[in-house]
Amino acid sequence: MIKVEEEVVETLKQTFTEYVVEAKVQREKRVTVVVKRERLVEIARFLRDNLQFDHIASVSGVDYPEKNEFMVVYHVWSIPKKVLVALKTSVPRDNPHLSSLISVWEGVNYFERETWEMFGIIFDGHPNLSRFLLPEDWDRGFPFRKDFKLRTKPE
Amino acid sequence: MSIMRVRWGPQHPVSGQWAFWLDVDGDIVVNMEPDIGYTHRGIEKVAENRTYIQNVPVVERTSVFDAGNIVFGYVQAVEELMGIEIPERAKYIRTIVGEMSRIVSHLYGLGLLAIAVGFETMLMWFINDRELFLDLFEMLTGARITYSFFIPGGVLHDLPQGFYDEAMRRLDYFERRLKDYWKMFFLNRTFITRTRGVGVLKREDAIRLGVVGPNLRASGVEADVRKDEPYAAYDQIDFIIPTEKEGDAYARGGVRFHELEQSVSIIRQALKKIPDGKIRVKVPITPTPPKGEAYSRVETARGEIGYYIISDGSNRPYRVKISAPSFRNLLAMPFLSRNVPMADIPTIYLSLDLIPLDVDR
Amino acid sequence: MMRKVEEWKEGRCRLFHFEIGKIQDWKPVKDLLNWARAWSLWSVHLCTGCCSPELMAVACSRFDAERFGTLPFPTLRECDLLFILGVVSEKMAKRVKITYEQMPEPKYVIALGDCAISGGLWWDSHNVVQGVDKIIPVDVYVPGCPPRPEAWIQGIRLLQKKIMEGR
């Protein structure tokens, strides 16, 4: 059962030896790949064209203030293969720039816009990074970052 | 001709909790931009402040229209983090509740689609028959729509006495009603004329935009989490995934209708096959899963929902990402609303079954 | 036409068979007006949060709030009742205020659900107004998450009682 997943991991490791930090099979139908952000777009394009990962499932930002970095996780499902790959890459917290994957999967459009709004990660090449979920006059920073504190007592 | 910008919502009979910007040239919409965020409650941030069990009602509010399936994904992710295997009986009860929730949600969606094409009788029919299942929920869980019935480790209550007979009676009635729906609604000329060929989403576009659920299946892609990655008791139950080829509003409505039939059959089978035994395993009141992450997928009524939960070993999640189905379907809305008459916008919107609550989270 | 206005000004116009100028006791007239108001509460269709599925249940055939004269209506210029359907986010709060201000007098507000009353489940959220009464005045509060249709209808009845008592 786990053969397809291992094949994905092996192919990625062989093709992008230097740029794949870690690639493993998490469990059945789940593959985790940590890559360096310099070659993110090429790896994503390879996943789409050669490994049939065609259906974007989610884009999530994760804030790690101790490590001073953001993790951006692209979950992509493959309809023919029936495997979900988590494509992770880290971005420094003080200079959060990442190339947008909109040229690879068009479905990341709103996800990246949301991640920009909530974490302040700038996706270079994204056509429209503007206010989306928060009010138009929002000026209290990026709410999903760990240093944004919610109130601890009811008003 | 000059292009005019029209605002649609949030105070509008078919807009729901959001608004669109429509650039219109005469009656033809040339560009559409969603203006969302009117119900943004920051569920993902709030969830970081609560314990795993406290989070169950919080994530449920993502979309109360389909409360069963929405919580389903969350509890499965927590169980995966903690390495819990739930009892067989709980799996069946979850399947039953999940399918009832799907029926309720589809009836609501179809009712709104009916009123979008100006068919108020069908709205009354759908919403009234929805009450059949809301009563069953009340019998089983004690609440009509927000029941927070699933908890990590199993379900809250066992099936009450007389539930089997009552459910079977209602399903028999509902199956007769389904035939009426088909005759009255799906064979109705008004409905066919208003929806055939409206908002055609081709197979490649649907995959490219990341559309999920009935909207994807209406475009001819056979993708359903219940078959691709069976959870709960779906691997022991016999059902098919309805698909259509056309990808228009009528096909999307049709897929939902056929899913209603399948759900009835799934509930029947599950009620017959349900084994005896415990309904939950013991889980501490504040669970502390070990460090790690889990991504769980569940097929809700509007499509696949993904929960990405990262645990740092404490009793609160480090990050909860909800990849909600309507948010993923939202990208299809501006794509389909180009060069269509303005009168088709409600049909496209409600045939995609977008729920702003789900989009904003 | 002008003559009619003049008659009104001088108090010579007739309401039913009374001359308005001769009315000593205004209470029955006010009662009549309040009675009429209470039984035709048309509500604005403005969904703010997750109580909207119950709006359908209330408006449709099983619970049918139209029995009590409450009809969800698209045009707010002809409405006199505003349901706050659950959570009010900060973005929505401005729209709620605009909607309320555009409604003609007399106007009434029913806050439905815990979130609309006090923030409810979202007491610590960064984007939720902690109680809609901070933005607009509220006449009746209906608790529940979401309130059952029966509770909803009870809220409408309470408002009718309030109107008929002239408060």
pLDDT in tens, C37-96: 888 888 887 888 888 888 888 888 888 888 888 887 878 888 888 888 888 888 888 888
pTM for the model stands at 0.88
What CATH number is given to the structural domain containing B251?
A: 1.10.645.10
Q: Kindly tell me if the per-residue pLDDT of C14 is higher than 60.
A: no
Sign of the torsion formed by the C-alpha atoms of A54, A55, A56 and A57: negative
Domain that holds residue B318: 40-360
Which of the two residues, C3 and A33, has the higher pLDDT score?
Answer: A33
Residue B265 pLDDT: 92
Is B9 part of any domain?
no
Note which residues in 62-91 of chain B have CB less than 8 A from chain A.
none
- Determine contact, residues B155/B280, Cβ cutoff 8 Å: yes
* Confidence check: pLDDT of C10 > 70: no
Residue B314 lies in a domain: yes
Nearest to B46 among C54, C61, C125 (CB): C125
- Identify whether A19 is part of a domain: yes
Q: Is A104 a member of any domain?
A: yes
User: Residue C101's closest CA among B36, B38, B19, B11?
Assistant: B11
Counting as low any pLDDT under 70, the low residues of chain B are 1
Residue B23 within any structural domain of the chain: no
* Cβ within 8 Å, pair C99-B16: no
Interface test with B, best of C60, C115, C122 (most B CBs within 10 A): C60
| DSSP letter, residue B94 | H
- Full residue range of the structural domain in which residue A41 is found: 3-124
Q: What pLDDT is attached to residue C115? A: 85
String of DSSP letters for chain C:
-HHHHHHHHHT--EETTEEGGG----HHHHHHHHHHHHT--EEE----STTHHHHHHHHSTTT-GGGGT-EEES-GGG--EEEEES--BHHHHHHHHHHHHHSPSS-EEEEESHHHHH-GGGTT-TTB-S-GGGTS--SEEE-SSSPPHHHHHHHHHHHHHHHHTT-
Beta-carbon contacts of B340 under 8 Å, excluding residues fewer than 6 positions away, are: B28, B29, B198, B199, B348
Residues of chain C contacting residue B49, judged by C-beta atoms under 8 Å apart? 124
Model pLDDT, residue C4: 62
Q: For the residues A136-154, what does the mean pLDDT come to?
A: 84
Query: CB count, 10 Å around CB of C59?
Result: 20
A66: domain CATH number is: 3.30.460.80
B280 within a domain of the structure (yes/no):
yes
Average pLDDT, chain A: 86
The band of C127, judged by pLDDT with boundaries at 50, 70 and 90, is: confident
The answer to whether residue B16 is domain-embedded is: no
Is there a contact between A151 and C127 if contact means CB atoms under 8 Å apart?
A: no
Residue C31 near residue C166 (C-beta atoms within 8 A): yes
B319 chain-A contacts, CB cut-off 8 A: 60, 62-63
Contacts of B208 (CB under 8 A, 6+ apart): A54, A105, A106, A107
The predicted pLDDT at position B143 comes to 85
> Does residue A69 lie in a domain region?
yes
Position B255 in a domain: yes
Search chain B and give the residue with CA nearest C124.
B46
At B210 the pLDDT is: 86
pLDDT of residue B154: 86
Residue B17 lies inside a defined structural domain of this protein:
no
Contact by Cβ (8 Å): B217, B244 = yes
pLDDT band at C21 (very low <50, low <70, confident <90, very high): low
A46 domain residue, yes or no? yes
Domains contained in chain B, number:
1
Within a domain: A75: yes
Minimum CA–CA partner of B319 in chain A = A62
A22 confidence band (pLDDT: 50, 70, 90): confident
| Alpha helices (H) in B147-279, listed in sequence order | 163-181, 189-195, 203-209, 214-217, 225-228, 249-273
Total number of domains constituting chain A: 1
* Residue B22 in domain: no
Residue A153: is its pLDDT beyond 80?
no
